Chains A and B, each alone.
Chain A
Amino acid sequence: MNKPIPTSADGLSRVDGRAKVTGAAKYSAEYNQPNMAYAVLVGSTITKGTIATIDTKLAAKAPGVLAVLTYLNSPKVPGHIPTKAQKPGAKSGPLKVFYDNKILYNGHPIAMVVADTFERAQYAASLVKATYNKQAHDTKPPKDLSRGVGAWGGKDFTRGTVDAWKTAPIKLEQEYIHPSEIHNPMELHAIIARWDAPDKLTVWDKTQGTQATRDDIAKAFKLKKEDVQVNSQFVGGAFGSALQVWPHEVAAILGAKVVKRPVKLVLSRPDMFTSVGYRPYTWQKIGIGATADGKLVGITHEAVGQTSTFEDFAEGPINTSKGLYAVPNVTTRYKLLSLDVNTPTWMRGPGEATGAFALESALDELSYALKMDPIDLRLKNYAKVDPDNNKQYSSKYLDEAYAMGAERIGWENRKAEAGTTIQNGWLVGYGMGGGMFGAYRDVAVARAIMKADGTLTIQTAVSDIGPGTGTAMVLIAANKMGIDPGKIKFEMGDSALPLAPMQGGSATTSAVGSAVHDACTVLKEKFQQLMGNGGTDNPDYVKILKEKNLPSLEVLTKSQPGPDNEKYSMQSWSVHFVKVLVHPTTGVIKVDKVVCVADSGKIISPKTARSQVVGGAIGGIGMALMEEAIIDHRYGRFVNNNFADYHVPVNADIPQIEALFVNKPDPYINPIGAKGMGEIALIGMAAAVANAVYNATGKRVRDLPITPDKLI
C-alpha cells in the first residue's frame, strides 16, 4: 500500500527552501562559464538630446578591456525595426540599445565595457566620456488630466449616466497621488550570454518566462526558437520587472558576439531604477456619491499615468472602480503622459494596486461623511454579479473575508470618530481596504514521468519568482498520484521544457497547476489501465512498472481553459485590516498589526500561500509609508537610487501579520479550484494603512508615501 495521501492541509514546507537558505540554489549570475567576460553599462548623464562625441579611447586602453560598444561600433540587432521605417508620429517602441545617438532619458545606455574581470570593466566604464547636444526635457509628472493623452484609443468609459456621483446627496471629490515605485527585488537583474555557434545561443537570465524570453531573443536576433536556450531556475524576486526582455539583455548578447566569449552582465542597484521598468507615477481623481443610507449612486475615476516618449505603457488603475462595487453609474477617464523617462512596466497588482489606493481611500472618506462603518458601507454595495458585464461570479466570498478579518483585527475597538483614541502617548487607528484582480488561466503543458524507483518527475518551463511554485506543484502531484511529496522532483526554469506561460498576473498555479493536475490524472489512469482490473485505487507504481518490465511511464498533457472561463466572471478578492500607532507630535507611524484575508479559491500550499500574503502586506506597508522614486526635475535624474535612500520596510517596520484564507474552491476556473494570490496580497493594502492613519489622527494623506512630515 502507498502511504496516506498527503493533503494540502499537511503544510508541506517550501520544497526549495533549504537550497535557497543554504546558497545551493543558483541564480542567473551564478552560472559562471569558462572564459567568461564581464560587461558594465554606461548611462547618459543628460535626460534628452543627442550624443555629440563619445570618447572610449581611455576605456579601451584600460587593463583587461576586451571591447567598448557604443552606437558607433555595435553590431546591429537584426530584429530592430529601423525608427525611420515606422509610421510617422508613432512612438519608436522598446528601446533599441546602441542604435543611434539619441538620448531619451537620464541613464539611457550609451556604452558598454566588456573586460576580463568585473572590477576592470567597472573601472573602464568610468573612463568613457561623452559630450552631448542637450535639449530641454520634461520629467514632471501629471497633476491633472490636462496634459494626458488617451490610452487604449483614448476613449472614456461610462456605465449608466456620466458623472452621476455629482447628483448624489452625499458626495466628495478628491485627488490621490501614487509616486513611481521601483520593483527593487533583492536579486539584481542579471544575464550570462553564451553563443554556442553563430546561430545558437544559451542564456542564463533573470526572467519570469523562459519561453517568452526565448521567443523575444529569437525574434530580436533572427534565430530559430529552438536555437535559443533560456535558463532561469531560480529568480530572487521580480514583481513584474522580469516580464520582458530589456535593453541590458540585448546588450549582453551583443557583447558576447563581439568578444566571442560568454559575457555576464549584472545591473547595479542604481541601474535598477532606469533599466527594468517601474510602477508609474499616477495622478488620480475620484468623485463618489451615495444616498444618505450609503447606497452608491456613482463613481467617476480619472487617472493619468506617466510613460516614456518612445513607448506607451498602460495599465488599469480605473478598473477597480468598474468592478469592486455594485454601483449603477461609473465614469472613467484614463490617460497617459509622455515624459523623458524610461518606460514603466507591470508591478505587482499592476493598475489595480494604484487604483485601489484611490478608490478604497475614497470609500473610507465617504464612510465618515455618511457616519457609517466602512465595512457596512461595502456590504451595502456588495456586488453579487459582476457590475461590469452582468456575469455571475465563478466564486466570491468577500463578505466572509470581511467578517474573518474584522474579528481577527479587533474591529470592534475602532472608534468611529477619527483622532480620538490615545494609548501610552500614541494615537491608535484602525483601517481596512480591499481589492480584486482577475483570476486567469492560460494554456500550459506538463510532463509527468514515473520511474521504476517510484520517483515522479514533473517538468514545465515555468520560472518561479518566489511564490512557491515548486511546492504547490509537488502538492498537486502528490495529492493526485497518492505518493509522498518527497518522491517528487519538480523541474522548471528551462525553456526547453513543456509550454508554460510567464509567471505573471497571479496565474501560475491556475495554469501550470492545472497542467500538472491533468498530467498526473492521465498518468494515474495509464497505470490503472495497466493494472487491468478496472480498479480506481492508488496503483502501486513500482510494482506495475516491474511487472510490465518498464523503466518508466510518462505522459505529456496540455491543459487549457474551457467555456466556463468565458461564461463566468472570475476574480480573486482580498481585504486587509491594519492597526496603526501614530505619534501625535513627531508623526512617527508604527504599523501595529495586520490581518489579510484572501478569497482566492482553494489554497494548494498553505505555507507558501501564507508567505505570499505576508510578502504582499509588507509590500503594501512599503507603498503606504516609504516607497517613492524621486527625480530632480531640473536634471531629470534620480536622487534616491539606492537602498539607503529608497526605503522599503525593514524587519523593525513589520508587525505581526496574520494571513487568513476563505479557502473555498472555485468550481469553474480550473480542475484544482485555485484562483490567483500574488496581486491581491498587495492590492488594497496601502489604502488600509492610509485609512488607519486617518482613523488615528484625523489627517487624510492622499499622496503616498505617508511619511512623518505629512502628519505634523
Chain B
Amino acid sequence: MKQFQYVHPASQAAVLDAIAKPGSKIIAGGTNLVDLMKKGVMSPDKLIDINNLPLNTINTSPNGLHIGALTLNSVLSENSLVLDKHPLLAMALKAGASPQLRNMATVGGNMMQRTRCAYFYDTAMPCNKRAPGTGCGAMGGYNRMHAIFGASPQCIAVHPSDMCVALAALDATVTIAGKKGERRIPFTEFHRLPGEHPEMDNHLAAGEMILGLDIPDNNFSKNSYYLKVRDRQSYAFALVSVAAALEIQGGVIKQARLAMGGVAHKPWRLFDAEKFLAGKALTEENFNKAAQLAMLGAKAREYNAFKIKLAPATIAEALKHAGGLV
C-alpha cells in the first residue's frame, strides 16, 4: 500500500476544505476502500475520516424518513422506523455482505462502493474503470457477473450494492454538500451508466460529500420484498436481485416500484414494468408480463446469458412474494 496521510476533521466545513484537494478521499467504514488501497487499485494521498461528523441519525422529517450518511448498515437494518415504514430496505441491507461488514459499513460508503469486477481489482489486467484507455477485460473475458443493461463498449461492470437497489425502488433522494452549499438529487440519478467515462461511478462532483438520504412516506410497507439470487446463501454478490414494492387497494395494484441489482452499472429501475402493473390484478400472469417488459433491451455476453432468463424469473418471484402469492 502506498503511504498516505490521514486526517479526521471535526467539522463539515473542514471536511469540505480537505476534500477539495486532488488526491484526497473520504473514508468512513473503509470496508471497500481499504481493500482497494491494499490491492493498489486506489492510491489516495490523503484519507479524510469523516466519522467525527454528526451524520448517523435516523429520524422522521418533512421529507419522510431521514437517514444520515454515517448510519451503519447494521443499525439501519434493525431500526424500528425502517422496519415499520420501509421493510424492503431492511431486507436488502440484510442480504448484503456479512454481519461483520455491515457493522462497519455506512450508508454513504455503501453508495460509494466500487464494482467487484475482477478486472477492476487486478492491476495486471486491462480495465477502463481503473485505468481509462486500457480496455475492458471483462467484455471478452469472464463476464458471468456482468451487466445486461446499460453497458457501454468501455465497461460492462455492475454496481454491487443491495441497499441501493431498495433505495432506488423507494424513490429516495440524496442530499449532497459542496463548497457552494447543499443540493438534493433523486437516488436513481445518483449513480450513472458507464458511457465514455466508466471511471466515474456516480454524479458526485469533485469536492462534494454525501450528507444523507430521505425516503418519502409510502404505502408499500405491507407488500414489499427483496429477493437476491446468488451462488451461496450469504456473503455473495447478486447474480440478480429484485426490490419489489406494491401498493394494493381492493385486490388491485395501485402502484408498483421495481428495481434490479446485479444487472447494470447502477441500480436498475424498471419503470415500464411498474407502469404496466398499475391497475392490474395480483396474478402470476401479470407478474410474468411485467417481468418480460422489464427485459426489453437486455444484452447478454458469453458468460452472463443466463441472466436473460434469471432476471425475469426473479422479478416474477419477488412480485409473488410482495403480492402475497407465495
Q: Do A and B bind each other?
A: yes
> A161-169, A316-324, A547-555, A636-644: which one contacts chain B?
A636-644
| A-B CB contact pairs (8 Å), 8 listed | A123-B3, A625-B231, A626-B232, A635-B124, A650-B233, A653-B232, A708-B310, A712-B309
- Asked if residues A639 and B229 are in contact (CB atoms below 8 Å), the reply is no
- Asked if residues B116 and A651 are in contact (CB atoms below 8 Å), the reply is no
A644: B residues at CB distance < 8 A:
116, 235, 237
Distance (whole angstroms) from the CB of B4 to the closest CB of chain A: 11
Q: Which of A122, A123, A590, A639 contacts B118 (CB 8 A)?
A: A639
- Asked if residues B137 and A122 are in contact (CB atoms below 8 Å), the reply is no
- Asked if residues A625 and B142 are in contact (CB atoms below 8 Å), the reply is no
Q: How many residues of B sit at the interface, in one of the four size bands?
A: 20 to 34
User: Roughly how many angstroms separate A585 CA and B229 CA in the complex, as a whole number?
Assistant: 11
B326: A residues at CB distance < 8 A:
425
- State whether the Cβ of A438 lies closer than 8 Å to any Cβ in chain B: no
User: Roughly how many angstroms separate A586 CA and B233 CA in the complex, as a whole number?
Assistant: 13
A630: B residues at CB distance < 8 A:
142
- Asked if residues A45 and B118 are in contact (CB atoms below 8 Å), the reply is no
Main SS of the interface on chain B?
loop
If A126-B40, A635-B125 touch, whether A640 touches B118 (CB-CB below 8 Å) is yes
- State whether the Cβ of B141 lies closer than 8 Å to any Cβ in chain A: yes
- State whether the Cβ of B258 lies closer than 8 Å to any Cβ in chain A: no
If A126-B40, A585-B316, A586-B317 touch, whether A709 touches B310 (CB-CB below 8 Å) is yes
If A123-B1, A637-B125, A639-B141 touch, whether A588 touches B229 (CB-CB below 8 Å) is yes
User: Roughly how many angstroms separate A634 CA and B122 CA in the complex, as a whole number?
Assistant: 15
If A587-B310, A639-B141 touch, whether A708 touches B239 (CB-CB below 8 Å) is yes
Distance (whole angstroms) from the CB of B236 to the closest CB of chain A: 6
If A45-B124, A123-B1, A586-B314 touch, whether A650 touches B234 (CB-CB below 8 Å) is yes
If A626-B231, A653-B233 touch, whether A639 touches B310 (CB-CB below 8 Å) is no
- State whether the Cβ of A707 lies closer than 8 Å to any Cβ in chain B: yes
B237: A residues at CB distance < 8 A:
644
B6: A residues at CB distance < 8 A:
none
- Asked if residues B310 and A586 are in contact (CB atoms below 8 Å), the reply is yes
Distance (whole angstroms) from the CB of B188 to the closest CB of chain A: 25
User: Roughly how many angstroms separate A25 CA and B326 CA in the complex, as a whole number?
Assistant: 49
If A709-B239, A709-B306, A709-B310 touch, whether A645 touches B118 (CB-CB below 8 Å) is yes
- State whether the Cβ of B180 lies closer than 8 Å to any Cβ in chain A: no
User: Roughly how many angstroms separate A587 CA and B118 CA in the complex, as a whole number?
Assistant: 24
Q: Interface size of A by Cβ–Cβ distance < 8 Å?
A: 34
- Asked if residues A652 and B313 are in contact (CB atoms below 8 Å), the reply is no
The A-contacting residues of B in range 220-257, CB under 8 angstroms, are 227, 229, 231-237, 239
With A45-B124, A123-B1, A634-B141 known, 10 other A-B pairs at CB within 8 A are A425-B326, A635-B141, A637-B124, A640-B118, A644-B116, A649-B232, A650-B235, A707-B231, A708-B239, A708-B310
User: Roughly how many angstroms separate A708 CA and B145 CA in the complex, as a whole number?
Assistant: 13
Distance (whole angstroms) from the CB of A375 to the closest CB of chain B: 29
- Asked if residues A586 and B122 are in contact (CB atoms below 8 Å), the reply is no
- Asked if residues A119 and B236 are in contact (CB atoms below 8 Å), the reply is no
- Asked if residues B141 and A647 are in contact (CB atoms below 8 Å), the reply is no
User: Roughly how many angstroms separate A642 CA and B137 CA in the complex, as a whole number?
Assistant: 18
If A122-B1, A123-B1, A586-B314 touch, whether A652 touches B122 (CB-CB below 8 Å) is no
The B-contacting residues of A in range 22-63, CB under 8 angstroms, are 45
- State whether the Cβ of A632 lies closer than 8 Å to any Cβ in chain B: yes
If A45-B124, A585-B316, A587-B310 touch, whether A639 touches B239 (CB-CB below 8 Å) is no
User: Roughly how many angstroms separate A640 CA and B236 CA in the complex, as a whole number?
Assistant: 13
If A585-B316, A586-B229 touch, whether A639 touches B124 (CB-CB below 8 Å) is no
Write the chain A residue with the least CB distance to B144. Answer: A709
- State whether the Cβ of B140 lies closer than 8 Å to any Cβ in chain A: yes
Distance (whole angstroms) from the CB of A111 to the closest CB of chain B: 15
- Asked if residues B317 and A652 are in contact (CB atoms below 8 Å), the reply is no
A653: B residues at CB distance < 8 A:
232-234
- State whether the Cβ of B187 lies closer than 8 Å to any Cβ in chain A: no
Distance (whole angstroms) from the CB of A532 to the closest CB of chain B: 64
Return the CB mask of B113-125 against A: 1 if under 8 Å, else 0.
Answer: 0001011011011
Return the CB mask of B1-35 against A: 1 if under 8 Å, else 0.
Answer: 11100000000000000000000000000000000
User: Roughly how many angstroms separate A620 CA and B294 CA in the complex, as a whole number?
Assistant: 38
The A-contacting residues of B in range 83-127, CB under 8 angstroms, are 116, 118-119, 121-122, 124-125
Return the CB mask of A425-451 against B: 1 if under 8 Å, else 0.
Answer: 100000000000000000000000000
- Asked if residues A708 and B229 are in contact (CB atoms below 8 Å), the reply is yes
User: Roughly how many angstroms separate A586 CA and B235 CA in the complex, as a whole number?
Assistant: 18
- Asked if residues B137 and A632 are in contact (CB atoms below 8 Å), the reply is yes
